[in-house]
Amino acid sequence: MHKSYSIIPRILQTIAWLPTRLLLVGFCGFEVRGTQHLDGIDQAIFAVNHANELDPIILTAAINPLGRFAPMFYVAGPLDGFHDKKFGWRRRLYSSSWFFRAWGAYPHVPGHKNYERSLAQHRTILKNGGSLCIFPEGGTTKDGKLREGKGGVAYLSHATHVPVIPVAIVGTYRLSFKRFLDRRYHITLVFGKPKYVHEIIAHSAPEPARFKDVAREIMAEIETSIESALREARHALQRVERSL
């Protein structure tokens, strides 16, 4: 990878941060929790649940665009997966490698059944001091429920000693442009406690199954954060209703 690969993502993410943050706060009451779990950490692998195409932008809006985690890099799916008709006019945009690279996203290489080969570029980014966003589910949820996490997130943390931060995004499932403008959704992002996979798995060359075990633990923590945020939202709604 050329040493200048971070310049364009840094510029674009910095420019987009303020308008994105203002729109999210203004139309969705955007709330960020758990930032204390980022104290003392210079880089991280952010493991995020995936319910909407906007999730990568929402994570970027939650961090300081000039801070230690910027620019953010991403693990994307294979480009041929974006030819699906459900993406409509966005198919041409999403299937272009320049579009993803400009934002800092690099597709993993499928078919190898080998984490080291399929995530080689992402490992290099982490070795160079960058931070990474990964969606362990491998795609967006179809029914609003969390899917099983894949082991790549644990492999990257184990190989680079970079901690994993479980991140729960609540409120983006079935979020459309119309619903966004109607202010019908409240979006909350919750940072969880860091997990150091190389301390959980001390073996230098563990079986792939161990990475999947840790990925399940990460997804369980994300699910707990989601349930907690939803409970608080229900309680807040009940308090409002009682006051009327």
Q: What does the block give as tokens for 217?
A: 């633990």
Would you state the pLDDT for residue 183? 79
Listed in sequence order, the residues at least 6 apart from 41 whose beta carbon sits closer than 8 Å to its beta carbon are: 68, 163, 165, 194
Rg (Cα) of the chain, in Å, rounded?
18
**Cα–Cα distance, 184 to 30 (Å, whole number):** 12
Which of 150, 147, 140, 148 has its CA nearest to residue 173?
140
**Cα–Cα distance, 198 to 154 (Å, whole number):** 9
Task: Give the model's confidence band at 232: pLDDT under 50 very low, under 70 low, under 90 confident, else very high.
Answer: confident
Q: Judge contact between 165 and 222, C-beta under 8 A.
A: no
**Cα–Cα distance, 66 to 80 (Å, whole number):** 33
Tell me the per-residue pLDDT of 132-157, one tens digit each, with 9 for 90 and over: 999 999 888 888 889 999 999 999 99
Q: Does 193 have pLDDT greater than 60?
A: yes
Q: Judge contact between 44 and 162, C-beta under 8 A.
A: yes
Tell me the per-residue pLDDT of 31-45, one tens digit each, with 9 for 90 and over: 999 999 999 999 999
pTM of the model: 0.89
Q: Does 66 have pLDDT greater than 70?
A: yes
Domains of the chain: 7-243 (3.40.1130)
